[in-house]
Amino acid sequence: MKNRIERLCEITHNKEVSSSYFRIGLKWQTPRIAPGQFVMLRVTDSLDPLLRRPFGIYNVIDAAGKASLRGTGIELLYKVVGRGTRILSLKKPGECVDVLGPLGNGWPLPRLLSSGKNRWGRHDKIIMTGGGMGIAPLYLLAKKIKTGVVLFGGKGRAEAGLTKAFKGHKIRIATEDGSVGKKGFVTELLKEELGPDSAVCACGPVGMLKAVAALADDAGVDCYVSLESSMACGIGACLGCAVKSGAHGAAANRDYRMVCSDGPVFLSRDIDWEAL
């Protein structure tokens, strides 16, 4: 959190990649980004919309727009769902947006990459599970992991197209309408992939994350979740994104945790899912 900055960032591109889905590039040099972190954007100079919007950092790019972990820009993946994102979708290269970040704590890479142990054994198989826009915070993680499994769940073909950028990993897709991959929910794919050597990293709607956490708990494997939440400040001051802690681990002695400052990534058993 100490390395966060607020500044105007120039837009390098803002392209529609699928129906209602956009990828925006922003010039960015320092500080460095950790996979799973996010930024808060002010999409207009006026007071309407008043609050910043949180966006998970999708990618780090170089001056040519190519993926690079030591790049000079960042990319955000977003869906047009309301006034703020509609305004953002109309922004042109050369314009600027006010950015606060990077914020939050990302995926626990040292533990994931060290083949540490879960309750039953090693987690040599990293299963990245995304639902809808929950695929965005998983992209940088996938680039850090040499081999893994990417499971994606969405409503239909438009959302399934968001997986095209993932390379070098096994990719499986479930869609509610059956237009791509398996018809049904991504949790059905997770049941087929889970094993005692697994660790799960997931992001998506709360209902999906609750089901993923339950499956991982039953299998006795570590599960990390990136929670999606409405935020006003992004730094833990407004207490607007509080979630109730579970009864296990480091969270046991605290009633609530802030998604923005304590997360957005949590060990799933540290969250009281019944309270969400």
Cβ–Cβ < 8 Å for 224, 267: yes
Homologous superfamily in CATH for domain 5-103: Translation factors (2.40.30.10)
Total-model pTM: 0.91
CA dist., res. 238 & res. 177, Å (int): 39
Best CA proximity match to 134, nearest among 264, 275, 272, 276: 264
CATH of domain 109-275: 3.40.50.80
Average pLDDT, the chain: 88
- Residue 224 is classified by DSSP as E
pLDDT surpassing 50 at residue 204: yes
In tens, the pLDDT along 134-185 reads 999 999 999 988 778 999 999 999 899 899 889 888 999 999 999 999 999 9
pLDDT surpassing 80 at residue 55: yes
Phi first, then psi, for residue 233 (nearest 5°) are: -115, -40
Ramachandran area for residue 130 (φ above 0: left; ψ -120 to 50: alpha; else beta): beta
Q: Domain segments of the chain: what residues?
A: 5-103, 109-275
pLDDT surpassing 70 at residue 100: yes
For the segment 191-195, the average pLDDT, to the nearest whole number, is 95
User: Given pLDDT bands bounded at 50, 70 and 90, which one contains residue 230?
Assistant: confident
In tens, the pLDDT along 17-26 reads 988 999 999 9
CA dist., res. 109 & res. 111, Å (int): 5
Chain CA centroid to CA 65, Å? 21
